[in-house]
Amino acid sequence: MSTTETTASGVGPVEGAPVYTVDNPAPLIEAPRKRTKKTPRSTRGNFELAAWLFMRLSGIVLVVLVIGHLLIQLVLDGGVSKIGFAFVAGRWASPFWQVWDLLMLWLAMLHGANGLRTVINDYAERPNTRLWLKGLLYTATVFTILLGTLVIFTFDPNIR
């Protein structure tokens, strides 16, 4: 019978006369979780993705830097027995090795800090424990990176 009228109004014949027409449209219902002016632009960001990618990119660079470092310090030219203040002074006389060690320090510290952050997130279950462990981790990481950077930049071969 009046099937076209029923689909247009949204109200079946049983309920009676159609409530909404073209001249009297139904109120618009806002979609759930719709972005409004009050919604923050992003609630999370891409930090975890960036951290995941950083682990892989820094890992590839660190394989070269660290294995090269091990070869120089522990294998070539008498291994560990040659290391001393004079050896360090000789190496850091060259900007190449200064940059090598600086890059290795920053990448290894950040790579390790992010790794330990993951480990803490996985095993420390109480929010307070996580807070303290991560606070300790970040403090130690910042301190060590700054100390190492300072040492490389202010190294003085004629300290005595």
Partner 1 sequence: MPAGTLYRGREGMWSWVAHRVTGVLIFFFLFVHVLDTALVRVSPEDYDKVVATYKTPIVALLEYGLVAAILFHALNGLRVIAVDFWSKGPRYQKQMFWTVMGVWIVLMAGAIYPVLGHAARVLFGS
Residues that bind partner 1 (CB under 8 A): 56, 59-60, 62-63, 66-67, 70, 74-76, 78-81, 83-86, 88-89, 105, 108-109, 112-113, 115-116, 119, 140, 144, 147-148, 150-151, 154-156, 159-160
What gap in Å lies between CA 145 and CA 142, rounded to an integer? Answer: 5
Nearest distance in Å: CB 46, partner 1 = 17
36 residue type, one letter: T
Q: Which is nearer to partner 1, 78 or 95 (CB)?
A: 78
Residue 103 CA, chain-centre distance (Å), reads 18
Report residue 32 as tokens.
Answer: 């759930």
- 56, 62, 67, 72 alpha-carbon torsion, rounded to 10°: 170
Nearest distance in Å: CB 2, partner 1 = 58
How many helices (DSSP H) and strands (DSSP E) are in the chain? Answer: 5, 0
Nearest distance in Å: CB 146, partner 1 = 10
Q: Which is nearer to partner 1, 8 or 140 (CB)?
A: 140
